[in-house]
Amino acid sequence: MSNPIDRLHKALEGRYRVERELGAGGMATVYLAHDIKHDRDVAIKVLHPDLGAALGGERFLSEIRTTARLQHPHILPLLDSGDADGLLYYVMPLVTGETLRARLERERQLPIEDAVRIAREVASALDYAHRQNVIHRDIKPENILLHDGSALVADFGIALAVQSAGGQRMTQTGLSLGTPSYMSPEQAMGERTIDARSDLYALGAVTYEMLVGEAPFTGATVQAIVAKVLSAEPQSPTLIRNTIPPYVEGAVLKALAKLPADRWARASDFAAALAGESVATQYVTRTGALRNAAARMPTRTRALLALTTVVALIATSGALWLATRTAPMPVPARFDVLLPDSVVLFNVSGRRLALSNDGTQLVVVATKGDTTKLYLRRIDETEFRPIAGTERLSYTRNVDPAFSPDGRSILFRASKALMRIPVAGGRAERIGPDATASWGDGDLIVWVSNDTLWKIESGGAAQSVVAVIDSAATRRKLAWPSMLPGGHYALVNLGAQGGRADDNHIGVISIDDGRVEDLGFVGTNAQYSTTGHIVSGRVTGDVFAVPFALGSRKVQGQPERILDGIWVGSAGAVGVAVSQNGTLTYHESSDATPQSTLWVVHDDGTERATAAPQRTYNSPRVSPDGQRVVVEQNVDTRWAPDSAIVMIDLRTGATQQLAPPGEGLQPEVSGCMAPAHESTSRQGVTAIMLPPHRVHKLPRQLHVHAE
């Protein structure tokens, strides 16, 4: 009788009537059953047969009895346990309600008072169990049940019983105790001696997720998550949700300390801190302190202080480049913008966002599932709306939205062309070639293609050349045009021909006669603000503001850093948009070096990930025999000019460097077509980069600084 339900029903006949399966997890399957003697419905958890066989029934049941004595209002009790025809099981009350995981999937972020209440109730259960010398070892949203408004902790001590009973045999089952996103560092390292502070770490991670909407550390693989648990620091919750009280943030961050000695000693201490009865001052981020101190400091000092930490940027970003204005300034508004649920910024190397000239409209390039489109939000509204007509138009890598001067239309790159569409949606119209464009005064549109600056009046059909740069003579390449007010000049990237990405300079080009002037400072993707500054990024993720006289087109001072940790694309785009009225929007980097996975697809449709490590790969070229691939591999920075050329064995993942960083781009293999982002060999083997938005988490949050 191989059906587990039939086996269980026959073995428990007369005691429980097993009715149906409720769900399955990593260690057990849950069944709905009726307790015949007590005339009540119960939940029976049955360990997976392979695990049960590896553990042995007698030892497991002996260990699990230690948890049966736990009696607490927030602990789901253990009613029974046994061995049913070789199936190890334990019985719990059937709870009407839902798991915390189900609620988080529905709401993503809980009201702060609900999150604190649930965390304190779980802490109460942990405090009681810890005083009975019982450690849970697997606190996670799936093991927290919500019943009649209260939290119940399930599976108390089950993980300990499994480990104690199984010993070394656990490794044979492939079972990993604990869940990576909620594992303490010591548990992730496999230490067998785990104490109460490991449970407090897990509860801190669960509380963080209830407040923020995601666990403190996430990743594409278990290994990636564990690496962050061991080495990274969680992002400040108040950066994501500024309504979180400082004492709650401090309590959570202390619970997430890497060293057990730095965490709360007892669960009751954590519960008290969540209620504000004590404050973990060393873990409260600088945000609140900086805000209070800022009121007592001169503007210039306050601006420089903002540069010391990313945590303070929401409160003070932009103050530096606004501080030099002599006219009285209105109090600026600073707030965060979240994309809709399940929507993330599209992982492209070009710009992902743009602001209208008056700062009232924000457009982003974002993905939901497998559909990519433009999303629009008015700054004074609360929701983004998708722009109909921009869905999945065979986007190139650079989508680069740009508003018309009147804010009624948007330029973007799609279908290998420059497209225009009304902000209200409709039919996208092709107006030029596939190129990054800027829309200036008088409906003049300019773009750069092959070191040539082109222009067109938006209502006309005639395109004309503004300037052709002899890159061989000047050793500079044009990129990223951005029109200045007046319609006669544009800011441009002056890329270093054959050099490193951080050698790029910002220049000004005349739309009338094509003359180019190097402004003499390093930067990329420059934009002008009518505060009298050029805002541009650098390969490091820093953003600088440079005082700039529009009339003379001269730099008036030294670049000053106003932001750091900002996303920078491989083509030089920066995750910042500046409107002409001084509004600034930005999004941070999700990873210092965005990574992708190299996949192999065979002509029969089968596919597999190669053993090559995750890197920033570009321009793969498969050898004719389908066994090797040559690619650009970027490790240290985000920009392709710093790539090395490597050859990867598609069977073993072994890597051989053919050219060091900075000495080559777009490799070619004899007998192949021109470089592309995927390549097929004569044997029908295709190498392709898995779309990066499926490999690493992309941001959903943007920050706005507006006058």
Q: Are strands 87-93 and 98-99 parallel, antiparallel or unpaired?
A: unpaired
Q: Catalytic: which of 35, 41, 50, 138?
A: 138
Question: Under a CB-based contact definition with an 8 Å cutoff, are residues 162 and 51 in contact?
Answer: yes
* Residue 629 tokens, joined: 């691939």
Contact of 155 with 143, CB cutoff 8 Å: yes
The count of other CB atoms within 10 Å of the CB of residue 247 is 19
Q: Rounding to the nearest 10 degrees, give the CA dihedral for residues 87, 90, 93, 95.
A: -70
Q: Which residue, among 235, 580, 297, 325, has the nearest Cα to 306 in the 3D structure?
A: 297
Tell me if 565 sits within 8 A of 355, measured CB to CB: no
Q: Residue 24: in which H helix or E strand, if any?
A: strand 16-24
Q: Which residues contact 508 (CB under 8 A, 6 or more apart)?
A: 484, 489, 490, 491, 492, 516, 517, 519, 553
Asked if 645 and 659 touch (Cβ cutoff 8 Å), the reply is yes
The tally of CA atoms less than 13 A away on the side-chain side of residue 101 is: 9
Other C-beta atoms lying within 10 Å of the C-beta of residue 11: 18
Distances (CA, A) of 342 to 339, 386, 535: 8, 13, 31
Residue 615, phi then psi, degrees to nearest 5: -145, 180
Task: Please name the residues in contact with 214: beta carbons below 8 A apart, sequence gap of 6 or more.
Answer: none
Tally Cβ neighbours within 10 Å of residue 577.
Answer: 27
Strands 598-601 and 607-609: antiparallel
Give the separation between CA 528 and CA 414, rounded to whole angstroms: 26
User: Is residue 269 annotated as part of the catalytic site, yes or no?
Assistant: no
Spatial contact of 543 and 306, defined as CB atoms under 8 Å apart: no
State the catalytic residues.
138
